[in-house]
Amino acid sequence: MSQYNLDRIFNPRKIAVVGGSEQPGSIGNALMKNLIEGGFPGTILPVNPKYKKVHGLSVAKTVSDLEAGVDLAVIATPIQTVPGIVQECVERKVAGAIVISAGGKETGEKGREIERQIRETAHAGGLRIVGPNCLGIIRPGGNLNASFASEMPDPGRLAFVSQSGAICTAILDFALQERIGFSHFVSIGSMVDVDFGDLVDYLGNDSSAQSVLLYIESLTNFRKFMSAARSVSRVKPVIVLKAGRSEAGARAAASHTGAMAGEDAVYDAAFKRAGVVRVDTIQDLFDCAELLAKQPRPRGSRLAVVTNGGGPGVMATDALARYGLEPAELDPETVSKLDAFLPPFWSRSNPIDILGDASAERFRRTLEVCFEAKNMDAVCVILTPQAITDPLSVAEVLTTVTKRRYPVFACWMGGKSIEQAVGILNSAGVPTYRTPERAVRAFLYMVEYAENLASVVEIPPKLTRNIACDREKARRIMAGAPEDGFLSESDARDLLSAYGLSVIRTERAPNETEAVRLARDMGYPLVMKLESPDITHKTDVGGVRLDLRSDGDVRAAFLQIVESARRAKPEARIEGVILQPFFASPDYEILLGAKRDANFGPVIVFGMGGIFTEVVKDRALGLPPMNRLLARRMMEGTRAWTLLQGYRNRPPADVERLESMIIGLSQLLIDWPQIAELDMNPVLIKDGRPVAVDARIRVSPSDQPSPMHLVISPYPEEYETHLVTEHGVRVFVRPVKPEDATLFKEFFKVLSPTTVYYRFFSYIKEMSPHMLARCTQIDYDREIALVALDEDSERERMLGVARIIGDPDGKEGEFAIMVGDPWHGLGIGSSLLQQCLSIAKDRGFQTVRGIVLQQNKTMLALGKKLGFEMKKHPECGEYELVIRFG
């Protein structure tokens, strides 16, 4: 539903307060007072049948009595009256409503039914709803306090959204004390309509919000949230406190993979994939809020610590060490500058201990040297109240030297003697922390954001070998799969091999005689394993025998396995055994698998494998779709990664083959939503090459077809086409991939300065890494991006590119197109744009528009040919091309 209506909620001109009153202690009274005393510049319209005047304003009896054009209705009446009021809002074409009223789904079935009525009525009428059961919203910069909070915070750059009203009031009180300002302050409540995805999208496009903080207890539309967070985190920090870590593992299934992919760990993986920073505690959220609101973001993790006490400096160093970091190293030039004025006994290293008798001037000169150093990303100033050091004077100095290129924050340790100094720092925009550990942790969260951002825009390399997917073979296997149950081991192995995953040779033997015959054919040594659909963990019932070297070994092992299994599980079906080659001493054993999460869809698991998987619990999670870079990052998140680089006399693993296995598994999960659980444990690595030894796949019905079962839109293969342009050029048109960055670099080299100017409205010599990432890492839930490749070229060569960037509502889009100069006039641009427009129409876009320079006659002619309306843009004077569907 409309982001435009959200804008009218946050920037209203007319507000109706339904339930507005003058009764002391009532929410209706608090809402009226906050709007009036907050200085709301628009019109306030109280609605209450009991009054004629409220706070000197005329009162309407019902919403139906109001004139059309109300932007926002704030509803503070008993919950059972809200569905009727919402219907009146729809009829009067109100843009949005904040439902303060409690008593919804949190009270049980009756409350859920009320919320259902509110949702259906609002959705049908295009009315956006914030709440119910919420505190309201505050936008200090617009003098809007549409809440019953006690006070209005200062204007600022930080947007805060909370599902909990209690957390809102706590943050608000803290902000008032620490002088933290907000661009938006939103209590989102029960999210009957407007949810976190909506608000992240909206705040991402609002320049007044430079950082976004979220307190989340639950998410609703997970795919929408991921799409919004991935988009917004590229341009501003998104910091999340997600409650509920204690539920980790509560929904674990009975397999190795299931037991290791608990709900909370999946949230961690999802937030990381989206570029979102997750904090652990309310205190961390407060501390991040302060640093984000008051200081620039760090470019790296090199921290300088300036202190007048050795002990606190050590504490800061220890805090860094807990996260694998050390203080920034002082270069000789910096040491020499500090030597010039510091006492002979200063630390001569970082932390920079300037001794207990440090004056304010000594602090100032030390900070000036730090600011001139080239190998520092932030400065933490620690002060302990000592007889000679005056906290107030140092604070005043600090406020005069902090307008620098990187963050400066303070740790003033003590109590009463530092209160006034801390107040000065807060007023001047210097974040203050009571302990070195808190200061360092807040800084490192910001470093994590910078690292996440770098990771998000990093370009994945291409595979040097293609992954062949035999989808027809996979269809045959899945057609014979049970509706709810396990594939046979042979079908599981065949399904994996159909997606290019290396699987060990495996033969089935229903009896002892056949086992001996197969063993001779395969060659010794061998492994024999029980085959039973009713027994998951074969080792638990004595169902595995290793290193079989003769016919006699095979006969004995067959009898022992069958007898042991029948003794342990008399009711189990025993279908024989399977035989596989035996790796006497594999270099490594890893786990690779997947589990379908109820919220995030399929989740890939990688970690230490073998029989100690659940004991060691070394694993990392990833969400499809995957590429080489994402696969590598997932593996790097485990302790197993260090071993896989080579350990003692063991050779390193072939990392690209492991990446290929993860990518192949990802595609399997994309294609088949029915896969509920998948285990390859162990995957043995010998002489660098990985091979899956055991495979176990459970299927069950999926609520969503592919690809809607994923929370991240995959590569839309269905948009691939081969065509011949009107001028006879044979091209392969396909969606853009993240690995296309090299293609884009080469393509940019054939563009003339004029073509570049027509596309970017400025002269650009080369595409920056951020531009390349923006052009190649496409969220296909929001965008359409197609490239035309030369069908007749021996190597992959890009001829042109077109894209439509949709708004968050998916109703309007902006097109852009570029064709290499050697291929102008051959119909490539026309073919690309027509394909994009066809996809946009199928997706339900209502309008596609674009700005074209007046001198770009070729594009203007193409627009006319394809049916675009053309008119001069009122703001920039260039032409705006618009096409409408339906």
610 pLDDT tier (thresholds 50, 70, 90): confident
pLDDT of residue 876: 72
pLDDT digits (tens, 9 = 90+) for 377-406: 999 999 998 877 888 999 998 888 766 678
Dist CA 49 CA 75 (whole Å) = 14
Tokens of 169: 């009031």
Residue 266 · residue 599 · CB < 8 Å = yes
Q: Establish whether the linkage from the previous residue to 296 is cis, with ω within 30° of 0.
A: no
Which one of 3.40.50.10860, 3.40.50.620, 3.30.360.10, 3.30.470.20 gives the CATH number of domain 588-699? 3.30.470.20
pLDDT beyond 70 at 504: yes
Contacts of 225 (CB under 8 A, 6+ apart): 195, 196, 197, 200, 219
| Contact present, 843 and 812 (Cβ < 8 Å) | no
- Mean confidence (pLDDT) of the chain: 91
CATH superfamily of 471-486+506-581: ATP-grasp fold, A domain (3.30.1490.20)
List where CATH 3.40.50.720 sits in the chain: 1-133
pLDDT by residue (tens digit) across 825-846?
A: 999 999 999 999 999 999 999 9
233-267 pLDDT, tens per residue? 988 899 999 987 755 433 433 343 443 444 788 99
pLDDT at 252: 36
Over the stretch 314-371, which tens digit does the pLDDT of each residue have? 999 999 999 999 999 999 999 999 999 999 999 999 999 999 999 999 999 999 999 9
Q: Provide the Cα torsion 280, 281, 286, 292; round to 10°.
A: 0
Listed in sequence order, the residues at least 6 apart from 509 whose beta carbon sits closer than 8 Å to its beta carbon are: 515, 518, 558, 576, 577, 578, 579
pLDDT of residue 563: 94
pLDDT: is 504 or 452 the higher one? 504
Helix 655-671 / helix 628-636 crossing angle, nearest 10 deg: 110
Q: Does residue 107 carry a pLDDT above 90?
A: no
* Contacts of residue 463, Cβ cutoff 8 Å, sequence gap at least 6: 628, 656, 659, 660, 663
Enter the tokens of residue 416: 């009463």
Nearest CA-CA partner of 174 in 149, 144, 153, 155: 153
Is the model's pLDDT at 511 over the cut of 90?
yes
Could you tell me what percent of the chain has a pLDDT over 70?
Answer: 97
Q: Is the dihedral of CA 600, 606, 608, 612 positive or negative?
A: positive
What distances in angstroms separate CA 573 from CA 21, 480, 532, 591, 700, one per listed residue?
73, 19, 6, 27, 21
Count of positions (residues) in the chain: 886
**58 phi, psi to nearest 5 deg:** -65, 145
- The pLDDT of residue 387 is 72
CB-based contacts of 313, cutoff 8 Å, min separation 6: 305, 307, 347, 351, 352, 353, 382, 436
* Angle ∠(365,369,372) on CA atoms, nearest 5: 140
Out of 3.40.47.10, 1.10.4030.10, 3.40.50.261, 3.40.50.920, the CATH code matching 144-294 is 3.40.50.261
The CATH 3.30.470.20 domain(s) of the chain lie at 588-699
pLDDT of residue 806: 92
Stretch 593-609: mean pLDDT: 94
Which amino acid makes up residue 665? L
Break the chain down into helix, strand, coil percent, rounded to 5. Answer: 40, 25, 40
Please give the pLDDT value at position 615. Answer: 63
Mean pLDDT within 856-883: 89
pLDDT of residue 257: 40
Q: Give 614's pLDDT tier (boundaries 50, 70, 90).
A: low
CA nearest to 442, candidates 424, 458, 430:
430
Q: Encode pLDDT of 471-483 as tens digits.
A: 999 999 999 999 9
- In the chain, which segments carry CATH 3.40.50.261? 144-294, 296-456
Integer angstrom CA distances of residue 25 from 29, 84, 151 = 7, 25, 15
C-beta separation of 164 from 196 below 8 A: no
Cis peptide before 625 (omega within 30 of 0): yes
Query: Binning pLDDT at 50, 70 and 90, where does residue 583 land?
Result: confident
Q: Mapping DSSP to helix (H, G, I), strand (E, B) and coil, where does residue 832 land? A: helix
What are the helix (H) ranges across 502-618? 512-522, 551-568, 613-616
User: What architecture is domain 296-456?
Assistant: 3-Layer(aba) Sandwich (3.40)
Percent of the chain with pLDDT over 90: 74
CATH topology of domain 1-133: Rossmann fold (3.40.50)
Q: Helix or strand or coil: residue 461? A: coil
User: Mind listing the pLDDT tens digit for each residue in 808-817?
Assistant: 888 999 999 9
Q: Which fold is adopted by the domain 717-884?
A: Aminopeptidase (3.40.630)
Please state, in angstroms and rounded to a whole number, the distance separating the CA atoms of residues 85 and 132.
13
Residues of the chain with CATH 3.30.1490.20: 471-486+506-581
Which of helix, strand or coil describes residue 669? helix
- Model pLDDT, residue 630: 94
Going 63 to 68 to 73 to 79, the CA torsion angle's sign is positive
The pLDDT tens digits for 736-753 are 999 999 999 999 999 999
Position 472 scores a pLDDT of: 96
pLDDT at 45 over 60: yes
First vs last C-alpha separation in the chain:
18
486 pLDDT above the threshold of 70: yes
Find the mean pLDDT for residues 633-652: 91
pLDDT value of residue 178: 82
Q: Which two tokens stand for residue 377?
A: 């990303």
pLDDT greater than 70 at residue 611: no
